Amino acid sequence: MESRLERYLKEKKNKKRKRIKILIISLMVILLVVAISIVNDSLYNYFDLTDTSVFNYEYEKSTHVIEIFGNEFDINLNKAVKNIKEYIVNIF
């Protein structure tokens, strides 16, 4: 049997581990975005590849256009939210 203090200290230790994990993952994602941006700039500047890009983001009339490694994704948030609302209404 654990005492309350032991349980409290164990929970505190687990919370600290979770915070550290979140911090490390956040830093890794930021580092990944910065690295992709650097590669994109080097392709654009050194090789004069203006028609291709590793990472690009544009916003056009409520549509987010994200280009990653040559693949282009169009995301319309208004349409997505509308579809989710319709799905929830149909369930209930």
36 neighbors 54 (Cβ within 8 angstroms): yes
65-84 pLDDT, tens digit per residue, is 888 877 888 888 778 788 88
40 neighbors 53 (Cβ within 8 angstroms): yes
d(CA 25, CA 61): 32
11-52 pLDDT, tens digit per residue, is 999 999 999 999 999 999 999 988 888 887 787 777 776 666
pLDDT of residue 41: 79
pLDDT of residue 21: 96
pLDDT of residue 17: 96
Q: Residue 72, SS3?
A: strand
